[in-house]
Amino acid sequence: MISLEDKIKEVRKAYKDFPTRLKAQKHLAEKHNVTERTVRNWAKMSTFEEEEKEDESIAIARAKELKSSKYYLVSWAQSKTPVHEGFFENMKAYADHIGAEIAVIAGRYKNPTSLFNWRDSDPVWDRAFSPYLTLNRHNLHEKLSVLADVKVRPTASTPMTGFEGFESEVSIILGHPRVQMKVVPTLEGYRKKEIFTTGACTQMDYTDSKAGKVGEFHHTLGFVIVELDGDEFYMRHVTATDDGSFIDLNNSVSNGFVKKDEDSISVYACGDKHFGETDPDMEEAGRINMRVFKPDYVRLDDVFNGHSISHHESKNAIQKYKRFLAGESILSTEFDILRDNLDWYNQQPFKVIIPRCNHDIFLDTYIVDQDWKKDIPNALEYMKCTALLLEGKAPKGLIPYFIDKWYPNMITLLNDESFRVSQWEQAVHGHRGANGSRGSVIQFKRLSTKMVTMHTHSPSRYDGVVTGGTNTYLRVGYNEGPSSWMHCDVIIHKNGKAQQLIFHNYKFTTLL
């Protein structure tokens, strides 16, 4: 009796030999006296991935060991698909410039509708990748692994799903043509676990199915750059334009040449500020970056913390007493803190963007919901704010009203307003979703607009939605238990590409 394994092999062969799968199924059904549905079930047991040719290049890739280096550039290549020559030449030029090792993760994809004339005698992967191709697992750091031995379907919409607990506490890089990342919550004292996908260095080549066309739309030329810095390491995405040129920080790479670009940044978007709970070391690190990058715009989210009047603490007498002892229960003092911090930004050459944020709304909520007689220390400010709302002088909200009054050149935005810079929407903080619902990165991912969001304090990237972190202390009392909060800012280049600057101990790179 023929084994199931032999049946699966026979299905594979028939699918190749017959002009259509329907004819192959009918032939096998008659041969084995079963229904065509049974044959289709046999087919489902086979992934129909590319069968690797056991030639020397595959053996070398399986045994590939990366040379010890301070820098690594990690990308992904699709089987039977040509290299994107412009991008890969630029990638090699950048690697030479900074002294980096290149690793190209070998990915597989079966495409019967491919437009490329790939012959059976050709290698599975473009010969351009031969010195860099890997099918091995690489431990670049005791807390970082490149999973080149793990294959994720190129058309998977959420390739990181299921890898949260993979490799325990070790951050991981997965080969995939989509550019995504997220942070896995960890307990205090543990390094945050980051999961990155790489982007691709091959041309687009997908089936003409729904999954194929969606995969084609999200196909991104890119790589992950890894920097080792003693006991620490840093990672970020680098993505390219259609011609293969790219910018990493202030290094512009085009036509095989690398140059410093002092005018490449459109927007420097800071993680949530929460002035009054801002980490001063992180604030100083951000200001240094702004002087280096010289952005056209700086974006500030949650500039008002609202600890003096927070509705989250309105019924917590113990916490309110602690605020009182610390001098944090007076609204006018918090206004002074806000203004003192914004003063520095107002004196800089860039323009400041301030979206409407949930912590800014705390003040409006306080005026509407609270009884001033129960908060006598803030009674006068309460009355002033109430008068502004009753007189219709604060249509954007109270915090935007005060900022507009203090600093007329700053750009304050409404919830429903749009403000795009270099193709990226800057008006979405992240707390408000579609039709008044609560916002989430997954919901924003389904929208048609590329956007930078904040709010969660946890960096993530899902295709066209890039989320920064926070500039506050990483523990502020209410984020107890495992936390994914990280210090992270976002830069938008003038070529329309975004990068997250993920800080560890107030540092995110060794290249500046």
CATH number at residue 141: 3.60.21
pLDDT at residue 39 greater than cutoff 60: yes
Alpha helices in 347-406 (DSSP H): 358-369, 379-390, 398-406
**Structural domain of residue 24, as residue ranges?**
4-44
pLDDT at 4: 64
Residues 20 and 141 in one domain: no
pLDDT digits (tens, 9 = 90+) for 119-155: 777 788 999 999 999 999 999 999 999 999 999 999 9
Report the alpha-carbon distance of residue 106 to residue 62 in Å, rounded. Answer: 10
Tally of domains within the chain: 3
Report the alpha-carbon distance of residue 505 to residue 232 in Å, rounded. Answer: 9
pLDDT at residue 501 greater than cutoff 60: yes
Residues 256 and 269 in one domain: no
Residues 237 and 339 in one domain: no
pLDDT band at 36 (very low <50, low <70, confident <90, very high): confident
pLDDT at 213: 95
Residue 78 lies in a domain: yes
171-174 and 193-197 strand pairing: parallel
- What is the percent of the chain with per-residue pLDDT over 70, rounded to a whole number? 97
Residues 353 and 426 in one domain: yes
Q: Helix, strand or coil for residue 101?
A: strand
pLDDT at 54: 53
Domain boundary among 193, 227, 260: 260
Residue 508 lies in a domain: no
pLDDT digits (tens, 9 = 90+) for 249-279: 999 999 999 999 989 999 999 999 999 999 9
Domain boundary among 260, 280, 299: 260
Which CATH number belongs to the domain containing residue 371 in this structure? Answer: 3.60.21.10
Burial 373-402, CB ≥16 within 10 A → b, else e: eebeebeebbeebeeebeeeebebbbbbbb
In the structure encoding, which two tokens stand for residue 17, read together?
């030999």
Residue 312 lies in a domain: yes
Residues 312 and 458 in one domain: yes
Residue 397 lies in a domain: yes
pLDDT at 317: 73
Residues 199 and 284 in one domain: no
Domain boundary among 198, 230, 260: 260
Residues 98 and 213 in one domain: yes
pLDDT at residue 311 greater than cutoff 90: no
Report the alpha-carbon distance of residue 231 to residue 142 in Å, rounded. Answer: 9
Residues 79 and 103 in one domain: yes
Residue 207 to residues 98, 111, 179: CA-CA distances in angstroms? 37, 5, 20
More confident residue, 497 or 118: 497
Which range has the worst mean pLDDT, 1-15, 126-140, 408-422?
A: 1-15
Residues 222 and 105 in one domain: yes
> Residue holding tokens 């930004």?
345
- What is the percent of the chain with per-residue pLDDT over 90, rounded to a whole number? 75
Report the alpha-carbon distance of residue 175 to residue 146 in Å, rounded. Answer: 8
Residue 512 lies in a domain: no
pLDDT digits (tens, 9 = 90+) for 87-108: 999 999 999 999 999 999 999 9
Residues 249 and 102 in one domain: yes
Residues 311 and 434 in one domain: yes
Residues 210 and 107 in one domain: yes
Residue 507 lies in a domain: no
